Amino acid sequence: MSQPANDPVALEQIAMTLASGAAEVVRTAAASGVEVSTKTTATDLVTQVDKLAERWLADQLATTRPRDGLLAEEGHGMRSSTGVVWVIDPIDGTVNFVLGLPQYAVSVGVEVDGEVVAGAVCNVANGELFHAHAGGGAHLAEQVLTGPRSVPLSGAVVGTGFGYEAGRRARQAGVVAALLPRVGDIRRLGSAALDLCAVAAGRLDAYFESGLNPWDYAAGALIAREAGCVVTGLRGAPIAAPVTVAAGPALAGEFVALLEELDADRVDG
Ligand code: IPD
Ligand code: CA
C-alpha cells in the first residue's frame, strides 16, 4: 500500500490533526467520568481516557499510515517499515487531568530515521495547539514562537518535574532545594510536553527534568528548538540521558553549568 510523502511539513500537519483530534476524544470521554488506576507506583496514574485516546490515535495511524512505526506511552507499538515513527503520549499530565487542573496535553512527535522532524502538542483543557517542523520555526496556532525573554539566571523562572519513585523524588528535591536560591523562582506545572512548549513561548525562562520518556519530550523538544532555544543534556550527553534542559541561548550555558555543579544528572539511586 502506498503512503503519503514523509516531508516534515506534511508530517507536521498530520501531527496537528492527530493531537487536536485526540484532545477532542479526551474531552468527550472525560464527560462520562474518569476511572483512575495506577502503573509503576501508587502516584503514577493512568485512566481509561488515556487508553481510549491512545487507541484512537493508533487506529488513525493504522488506517492512514499503516507502515509507519508507533511508540506510545500506554503500550501501543508498531514496527516501522518506512523510517517514520510516531512517538505519542495520549495524555501528558495525567495527574492534572485527574484533578481537573487545566495543564495536560496530547503530544505527537514524528521521527524520520531516528530524528524528530515534526510535532504537535495540544493542551486539552484550553485547545492551545503548539507545533513545529524541522527548519520551519515553532508556532502556537498561527503565532511564531521565539523563546524566553532575556533575563539573568538569578531572575529566571525555571520549570521542572519529578519522577514517580520516592527515592528519585527525594534526590530531585535536593537538586531543586540547591537551585532555588540561585534562580528567580521554580514552577512544577505537571506536563513535561507543555513545560517545553512554555519555554518556546517564553512563559518559562528555562526547564529541566531528569528521567523523561521519549513520548514526554519528542514533540516539545522540537518545538522549543524551533523557537530558538537550546535543548540539551548535561556534560555533553543527549537529551533525556538522563536530564533534559531547555533555555534561551543567552541563559543556557550558565544554566547547564549550574545543573552540572548540582549533579542534577546524578539523581538515580
Ligand atoms: C509526566 C509529566 C510530568 C513529568 C513526569 C512525566 P505523565 O507524564 O510529564 O510533568 O514530571 O516525569 O512522567 O505521566 O503525566 O504522562
Ligand atoms: Ca501520559
Looking at the CA of 50, which ligand is closest?
A: 2
In this predicted structure, the answer to whether residue 223 has a pLDDT above a threshold of 60 is: yes
Q: Which ligand is nearest to the CA of 164?
A: 1
Residue 257 reports pLDDT greater than 80: yes
Atom of ligand 1 nearest to the CA of 92: 16
Share of the chain above pLDDT 70, in %: 98
Residues recorded for the chain: 269
Region 171-189: mean pLDDT is 98
Cell numbers 512517538 correspond to 87
pTM greater than 0.85 (yes/no): yes
Q: Name residue 123's amino acid.
A: N
Q: Using alpha carbons, list the distances in angstroms from residue 119 to 16, 176, 184.
A: 7, 29, 30
Predicted local confidence at residue 93, as pLDDT: 98
Distance between Cα 103 and ligand 2 center (Å) = 12
Q: pLDDT (tens digit, 9 = 90+) per residue, 69-128? A: 999 999 999 999 999 999 999 999 999 999 999 999 999 999 999 999 999 999 999 999
Helix, strand, coil content of the chain in percent (nearest 5): 40, 25, 35
Where would I find the H helices in the chain? 8-30, 48-64, 94-99, 166-179, 192-200, 214-226, 249-261
Helix intervals (H) in 78-165? 94-99
The verdict on the CB of residue 248 being under 6 Å from ligand 1 is no
* Structural contact between residues 240 and 137, judged by C-beta atoms closer than 8 angstroms: no
182-222 pLDDT, tens digit each: 999 999 999 999 999 999 999 999 999 999 999 999 999 99
pLDDT score of 263 more than 50: yes
Instruction: Please give the distance, rounded to the nearest whole angstrom, from the Cα atom of residue 190 to the centre of ligand 1.
Output: 6
Q: Which atom of ligand 1 is nearest to the CA of 216?
A: 9
Please, what is the average pLDDT of the chain?
96
Q: What is the pLDDT of residue 268?
A: 82
Residue 217 CA to ligand 1 center (angstroms) comes to: 10
- What's the grid cell of residue 172? 530531585
- pLDDT for res 4: 59
- Residue 49 identity (one-letter amino acid): V
Ligand 1, pocket-test mutation among 54, 71, 92, 99, most atoms within 8 A of CB: 92
Strand 185-187 and strand 157-160: the pairing is parallel
DSSP character at residue 150: P
CA atoms of 176 and 171, how far apart (whole Å): 9
Q: Is the CB of 111 under 6 A from ligand 1?
A: no
Axis-axis angle for helices 214-226, 192-200 (nearest 10): 0
- CA of 169 from ligand 2 middle (Å) equals 18
Cβ-based neighbours of 266, under 8 Å, separated by 6 or more: 171
For ligand 1, say whether the CB of 163 is within 6 Å of any of its atoms. yes
According to the model, what pLDDT value does residue 6 have? 87
CB-ligand 1 contact for 94 (6 Å cutoff): yes
Per-residue pLDDT for 240 more than 90? Answer: yes
Q: What is the pLDDT of residue 1?
A: 46
Look at ligand 1, atom 16, and give the residue with the nearest C-alpha: 92
Least confident piece of the model among 9-13, 75-79, 135-139 = 75-79
